[in-house]
Amino acid sequence: MAVVVILALVAVASVLFHLLSPWWWTPIASNWQYIDNTIIITFWITGFVFVAVVLFVAYCVLRFRHRPGTRADYEPENRKLEFWLATVTTIGVVAMLAPGLFVWDRFVTVPDDATEVEVVGQQWLWSYRLPGANGKLGTSETRDVTAENPLGVNKNDPAGLDDIIIQGGELHLPIGKPVKMLLRSIDVLHDFYVPEFRAKMDMVPGMVTYFWITPTRTGTFEVLCAELCGVGHPQMRGTVIVDNEADYQTWLEQQQTFTQMMASGETPTAN
Amino acid sequence: MVNIPSSINDPIPPAEVEDVELYHPHSWWTTYVFSQDAKVIAIQYSLTAIAIGLVALVLSWLMRLQLGFPGVFTFIDADRYYQFITMHGMIMVIYLLTALFLGGFGNYLIPLMLGARDMVFPYANMLSYWIYLLAVLVLVAGFFAPGGPTGAGWTLYPPQAVLSGTPGGQDWGIILMLSSLILFIIGFTMGGLNYVVTVLQGRARGMTLMRMPLTIWGIFTATVMALLAFPALFVASVMMLFDRVLGTSFFMPAIAEMGAQLQYGGGSPILFQHLFWFFGHPEVYIVALPAFGIVSDLISVHARKNIFGYRMMVWAIVVIGALSFVVWAHHMYVSGMNPNFGFFFATTTLIIAVPTAIKVYNWVLTLWRGDIHLTIPMLFALGFIVTFVNGGLTGLFLGNVVVDVPLSDTMFVVAHFHMVMGVAPIMVIFGAIYHWYPKITGRMLDETMGRVHFWVTFLGAYLIFFPMHYLGLLGAPRRYHEIGESVVNPPSAHDLNVFITVMALIVGAAQILFLFNAAWSLRRGKDAGGNPWRATTLEWQTPTTPPPHGNFGKELPVVYRWAYDYSVPGAPEDFIPQNEPDPEHRSREHAT
């Protein structure tokens, strides 16, 4: 009996925990509400299956536990039942996969009007580069990284001279505008992770990865690194501030361009 | 050669393979140390795996102490924390679970359940264990090497794994880890070839493939998978070792480390991830399939009922094994690989849910109208169903590419894989030990201690990992030595971490009771007799218990029926051993 009660309790308590848990996702700040919705669908389907299976097991133990003189049934197969169970399962899987792939299609399709922002990861610091007046980011190369040019921007590419460099500071983004985050690392793997944006992606040295979001509310958000990058991994924090357009422009004007940075001869400090 | 009769009801002549004197051990050394008997090798494998597993258990305590009480235990600094999680993960996955299921249970059960005298290549089998032991020693050497073991995380992702920002990256740690993996794979290959060939060539007369117990199907399929998957890890390990020691750049692009340009260039960190997960995902099933097989048999024996849908169960094992080779990149949805891969890998991953769900249905339908004896093995089997279903279902979150994006690299992932490939298979391991200990030693494990051990382990582990999912949903990243102040670490999350740590200490301590039980029962346990569970499979039909060298005495058994003739209507007993003739053709086994 104890077994039956405990098994049923596991099912019921798990559901109650889910409903009453104070640990739930952070309030969303991007357009990826779809992702949250898909998670909700998945919770419903999987939660139902979990409770059904565990309660069924509990019932079996209650009803069919050993009593002297009883014998088990002898039923090697039941084709019909197996067929129906497989069919219902397939429907459930499709119900989760279809919306998932639909949302993924949106996730990988960057809108044409998205502005580009580059995030550069290094042990253990976030830096950013925004296109300057020409609206284009210049090329860059890890081989060009020096103390004076910490992001390895190509000095010979005119498109890069007016790029705005934010070394280890805060990133601001304007609200309501799609932005393609170009992700680059100059040493090891990192992962640009803002919980409220839902989207995240690894940054891999030697290549440029990306994701896109549209910030949907103003505020200050924490950047964490989500890919183990050495002992300083937990300390690799940053800040993203989503501004309204006016505040964003004010901030943007205060930032230095690549040319200005090189001219000032200032050596930005890592760490 | 003797012709095998075509009709299943014709009398089958006894096997022509007699006990071969040549291989009998003649000294203490060749009996207990350099033994070629699969049963001794199995015990050697198991004891070594459990011993190194205890190291991993202590490491998990240490990392939980840090997470529950950050800053209190100052000796657990960031370096040590990452070394602990890395060694914990690698030990559990490779050196405990893989070694115990295949080297331990595989060695013990394959010859006995198939009615063979031993593995087909006993010498290679012995070498397999000694190379495994060497791999374990090289792994442990990391703790004593300058700089300590590697702290790169069990996935060992380059470039950080071989750079100075990671503990052991520029010291001995990573070199010893990679060397140990290479040794493990060499040793495993020797054992693995043995298991496969023995299953294909060493079965007793009448033991058709479709009469094999599901335990053997699980171990067999897992071994085939391991033989195909481990080479990817082997290659990746060798290449990374070259990158680290010889300065090649297989996985190393141009890198500016702490402002200094390194001499690397042109390599691909993502290539390593593909190789790693080409091994790593099948590895999940290399652990899971033997557990699936064993738990099927535990449920069947202790519910006194045939496993429901045997043929479907066999095909589900084979299909899962095959599919698991085309899902690897679901570990890499946010790795930066071409995002269009996501469509393919999400689809294949969710397709696996169907055969897996069928297995779950068939386990619970075996309980339906059974005669359920709530023995310790049955309790652990029930614990497996609960934790496996739970962990399997959260896999549908992480496999569904877009849902994975917010959850990847969070504690949700940690909770998921611990539930599904940590707790669930370990439930089966314990169930299997309680089930087969009587055959191995001739004595029963103590029932009362067993019950306490089960409830504390099952409920405790569930209480550790179920709430942990919600920390991940909240956004808490994994592999953080200390989260500190953060939107994803409110005070309530800290309280939950304290709770999880306390539970982890309790569950860990409960294993001491198990070890005590295993040692105590060796001399004081109830006498088991030859077949205490009244089971049908051949290992329970040996002439003496524990089985002698050569397993079956003078004549090998002949198999007349499948492994699941429990509660056959009209039969005098509620079980009919596989080697009992079936003159009236009562067994309702499917046509084979």
How close does chain B come to A121, measured CA to CA in Å? 11
The domain boundary residue, chosen from A108, A127, A159 = A108
Is there a contact between B566 and B306 (Cβ–Cβ < 8 Å)?
yes
pLDDT in tens, A151-195: 999 999 999 999 999 988 899 999 999 999 999 999 999 999 999
pLDDT in tens, B201-233: 999 999 999 999 999 999 999 999 999 999 999
Residues A128, A99 within the same domain: no
Residues A142, A31 within the same domain: no
Token digits for B165? 């920002």
Residues A250, A120 within the same domain: yes
- The most distant pair of C-alpha atoms in chain A lies apart, rounded to whole Å, by 94
Return residues 462-481 of B near A (CB < 8 Å).
462, 466-467, 470-471, 473-475, 477, 479-481
Q: What are the beta bridge partners of residue A164?
A: A130, A257
Cβ pair B477:A225 closer than 8 A: yes
pLDDT at B11 over 80: no
pTM: 0.94
Residues A150, A99 within the same domain: no
Contacts of A232 in chain B (CB under 8 A): 78, 165
Q: Residue B131's pLDDT is what?
A: 98
CATH (domain of A153)? 2.60.40.420
Residues A119, A199 within the same domain: yes
Residues A149, A236 within the same domain: yes
Q: Residue A271's pLDDT is what?
A: 42
Name the pLDDT band for B182 (thresholds 50, 70, 90).
very high
Query: Could you give the ipTM of this predicted complex?
Result: 0.94
Average pLDDT (B128-138) is 98
Average pLDDT (B257-273) is 93
pLDDT at B591 over 80: no
Q: State phi, psi for A128 to the nearest 5 degrees.
A: -140, 155
Contacts of B348 (CB under 8 A, 6+ apart): B323, B326, B327
Q: Residue A267's pLDDT is what?
A: 52
Specify if A81 maps to a domain: yes
Residues A182, A242 within the same domain: yes
How many contacts does A have with B, using Cβ atoms within 8 A? 335
Specify if A28 maps to a domain: yes
How close does chain A come to B78, measured CA to CA in Å? 6
Q: Which residue of B has its CA nearest to A62?
A: B372
Return residues 492-511 of B near A (CB < 8 Å).
492-493, 496
pLDDT in tens, A12-25: 999 999 999 999 99
Residues A144, A235 within the same domain: yes
Contacts of B257 in chain A (CB under 8 A): 123, 187
Contacts of A146 in chain B (CB under 8 A): 259
How close does chain B come to A74, measured CA to CA in Å? 6
Specify if B478 maps to a domain: yes
Residues A127, A243 within the same domain: yes
Q: Residue A96's pLDDT is what?
A: 83
Q: What is the domain extent for residue B395?
A: 41-252+265-541
Helix locations, B335-446, DSSP H: 341-367, 376-399, 401-407, 411-418, 424-441
Domain count along chain B: 1
CATH (domain of B243)? 1.20.210.10
The SS3 assignment for A215 reads strand
pLDDT at B295 over 70: yes
How close does chain B come to A156, measured CA to CA in Å? 19
Q: Residue B2's pLDDT is what?
A: 47
Q: What are the beta bridge partners of residue B410?
A: B477
Which residue in A23, A90, A234 is closest to B471 by CB distance? A23
Q: What are the beta bridge partners of residue A238?
A: A223
In chain A, DSSP assigns E strands to 115-122, 125-130, 164-167, 171-174, 179-185, 190-193, 200-203, 209-213, 219-225, 238-243
Specify if A99 maps to a domain: yes
Alpha-carbon gap, residue B350 to B325, rounded angstroms: 14
The SS3 assignment for A179 reads strand
Specify if A269 maps to a domain: no
Residues A127, A50 within the same domain: no
Residue B75 exposed, middle or buried by CB count within 10 Å (0-12, 13-18, 19+)? exposed
Q: Residue B585's pLDDT is what?
A: 64
Specify if A205 maps to a domain: yes
Q: Residue B9's pLDDT is what?
A: 57
Specify if B24 maps to a domain: no
Residue from B334, B366, B474 to probe the interface with A (highest A Cβ count within 10 Å): B334
B592 and A CB contact within 8 Å: no
Contacts of B499 in chain A (CB under 8 A): none
Domain count along chain A: 2
Q: What is the domain extent for residue A40?
A: 2-67+77-108
Residues A95, A122 within the same domain: no
Q: Residue A78's pLDDT is what?
A: 87
Specify if B146 maps to a domain: yes
Cβ pair B373:A66 closer than 8 A: yes
pLDDT at B49 over 70: yes
Q: What is the pLDDT along chain A (271 residues), one digit of tens a residue?
A: 899 999 999 999 999 999 999 999 999 999 999 999 999 989 999 999 999 999 999 999 999 999 998 899 888 888 899 899 999 999 988 988 898 899 999 999 999 999 999 999 999 999 999 998 888 999 999 999 998 899 999 999 999 999 999 988 899 999 999 999 999 999 999 999 999 999 999 999 999 999 999 999 999 999 999 999 999 999 999 999 999 999 999 999 999 999 888 887 655 544 4
Residues A63, A135 within the same domain: no
Q: Which residue of B has its CA nearest to A223?
A: B486
How close does chain A come to B246, measured CA to CA in Å? 19
